[in-house]
Structure 1
């Protein structure tokens, strides 16, 4: 009904869903499911019954331009002392999450027969569920997993399973928050803090912060291109923002409302992810890949939660690490920010970036190992 080029209408819908996500958190419904999950469900439903398009230029703008800005705003609370304290448990949890993905691949290979493409498919899904979409593409190219029908089917399955997995993680994170298990040691800003200072003064500082965030995003992107690693702009973005947050802590402390704006942008990201989950594309080979991917992430989640309970590993860190592995740094930071786990935003980003670095090697290694067996 709404066309991909109906930019104003789509922007309006995204912003209204962001507002709904915040407001529903304070209702009875929000006690059972986080607002981020509810708006994602609405987005999935809207796109799959044809109200909104599966893909649109507006979605690309949100992903490419606004998500980095949201991450910058969430990172402004980062303090190196806290990062060093939180980084170790998150990175340990990330190693567990990677092993959980490999366990999932082993179970999926044993449970299903994908024929001649099984080794390549296992390598591709191992890479994407340790790194992210960029690793899906890179390992697919490396292994010759490029037949258009097969590639499209695997990508559709990955998108749908990823969206559903993210909702499960957000529900689990919401349950932790409802139980009062707040993340990290950084004090979370309270709503009443936003009322400090003159309204014009707050608005001016907030505008400067958002404008600077866009500038940092652009600089990070240019640096990544200059160094020949365009897919790693988030690494430079993180380094620049964390450095600024620790060099100018007093000035940044006066920026009221930046975290809320960052969370709002990440809510928009969740909406766009929901719009892009195309259940209609799940036909033919995509259904096989759907089962394959579902087995991997279900096994992954069982192993991650099992390790958390058996070895008394911190659940917040495990969920963020699981998110960083299966979905990537942006969603890990988004989940940590949305649940107000401020001290886990930066470690989650670094874990996801580490996944980007190692996933290609692991994916190709898995494919070679299965090809030789």
Structure 2
């Protein structure tokens, strides 16, 4: 059945993709219910409904352009703050806790895969993208989906299952500080500090944070936008050249070289590594580019609109519940290993909670939880380690993909 808007109506489709992405962001920022759903899910659901109603096409060259150009451009912009030296210097303990959680996510991916592979089709794709997502967040989800050409129905169903699971898990994390078991077996100096303060002091602290957040907002200039796009285009171009070079020169005659070819020939792995090195050793330049993070996130929301277009609602309804179980297995094992690791290394309860949040939710949710709990000393470090997860998550996800797909 033909759609109302035809695949070759280029400008009309671009208007829809970018317009609906903008509306999704607006809804998230204006309405409480939308902030809980998130702009990514709103963007996906809108295009999902319209494509199933045959208003927009399920395939179009316009969608291909988003995959080919927008996603590679977005990733470097989102990594410009990934200064590994700074992350280690300012957040060493939290980073180690975060890495333990990343290992937990990796273990959870394999456990979930072998437990459910006979019940969920193409589960290797899900394990791959969720490994990246539950180490670094939505950026890795998108990069790995593109890197392994994940079917759109799987991406849409997994996105829904992932967001439902994250909401439930964040409720669990928020509840842990009040549980006697955890307070008995872990040190919790920040919780004690918050509880010892009066309401007046707490209110003053919140106002101080509000003022700090406002101070951090800086004007984005034309130069910033120009440098963000120019540097990202150059980094993507170089990364494609390097990955193509490795793909040509590394033989695939045996299993070891075949894996090496898949890893070094993967444009996203090279792109992530190169950007991380530049952000570390040319930190002054890249950290000075304002607005890059925001541009990158907007391009990601446009991608989520595209993801919803070819997905079938009946397929999602059939698949999503089992995917929710798979995601729950991954998150449960992440939590188990991260809390065991925190106990072994004598890390604080607050560090374990925030590190697990940074694994599963990424740079947006971890500092939000730290602020909401009054753990002010963890706000900055939580952002740094979560951004580092963009790099670690891509590495782990590509390894899982080469084994399970």
Same fold (TM over 0.5): yes
Q: Deviations over 1:236-282 (max 9, x none)?
A: 22232223223333333432222211111111122222224333557
Q: Are 2:128 and 2:401, in contact at CA under 8 Å, matched by a contact in 1? A: yes
**1:164 aligned to 2:198?**
no
Q: Aligned partners of 1:3 and 1:178: how far apart in 2?
A: 47
Q: Aligned partners of 1:237 and 1:106: how far apart in 2?
A: 31
Alignment partner of 1:25: what SS? helix
Q: Residue 20 of structure 1 is aligned with which of 3, 18, 23?
A: 23
**Deviation of the 1:290 alpha carbon:** 6.4
**Deviation of the 1:294 alpha carbon:** 4.9
Task: Give the equivalent residue in structure 1 for 2:6.
Answer: 3
**1:270 aligned to 2:270?**
no
Unaligned runs of 5+ in 2: 133-143, 176-211, 248-261, 343-348, 370-379
Q: Given the superposition, is the C-alpha separation of residues 209 and 359 from structure 1 closer, same or farther in structure 2, using an over 3 Å criterion?
A: closer
Q: Residue 241 of structure 2 is aligned with which of 219, 222, 229?
A: 222
Alignment partner of 2:29: what SS? coil
Unaligned runs of 5+ in 1: 138-153, 180-187, 197-201, 324-331, 365-373
When the two structures are superposed, what TM-score results if normalisation uses the length of structure 2?
A: 0.63
**1:193 aligned to 2:217?**
yes
Q: Aligned partners of 2:171 and 2:304: how far apart in 1?
A: 19
Q: Residue 35 of structure 1 is aligned with which of 36, 39, 44?
A: 39
Q: Deviations over 1:113-154 (max 9, x none)?
A: 66xxx9x967676566547558977xxxxxxxxxxxxxxxx9
Q: Residue 77 of structure 1 is aligned with which of 75, 81, 101?
A: 81
Q: Aligned partners of 1:79 and 1:334: how far apart in 2?
A: 18
Q: Are 1:161 and 1:293, in contact at CA under 8 Å, matched by a contact in 2? A: yes
Q: Given the superposition, is the C-alpha separation of residues 358 and 64 from structure 1 closer, same or farther in structure 2, using an over 3 Å criterion?
A: same
Q: Are 1:173 and 1:316, in contact at CA under 8 Å, matched by a contact in 2? A: no
**Deviation of the 1:80 alpha carbon:** 1.7
Alignment partner of 1:195: what SS? coil
For 1:298-317, what aligned pairs fall within 5 Å after superposition?
Answer: 298-304=328-334, 314-315=352-353, 317=355
Task: Give the equivalent residue in structure 1 for 2:356.
Answer: 318
The RMSD of aligned alpha carbons is 4.2
Task: Give the equivalent residue in structure 2 for 1:350.
Answer: 392
For 1:48-59, what aligned pairs fall within 5 Å after superposition?
Answer: 48-59=52-63
When the two structures are superposed, what TM-score results if normalisation uses the length of structure 1?
A: 0.67
Q: Residue 48 of structure 2 is aligned with which of 44, 49, 64?
A: 44
Q: Are 1:71 and 1:334, in contact at CA under 8 Å, matched by a contact in 2? A: no
**1:65 aligned to 2:69?**
yes
**Deviation of the 1:205 alpha carbon:** 3.2
Q: Are 2:44 and 2:156, in contact at CA under 8 Å, matched by a contact in 1? A: no
**Deviation of the 1:360 alpha carbon:** 3.1
Q: Deviations over 1:162-205 (max 9, x none)?
A: 222343366569879999xxxxxxxx985873327xxxxx2033
Q: Are 1:87 and 1:347, in contact at CA under 8 Å, matched by a contact in 2? A: no
Alignment partner of 1:77: what SS? coil
Q: Given the superposition, is the C-alpha separation of residues 2 and 294 from structure 1 closer, same or farther in structure 2, using an over 3 Å criterion?
A: same
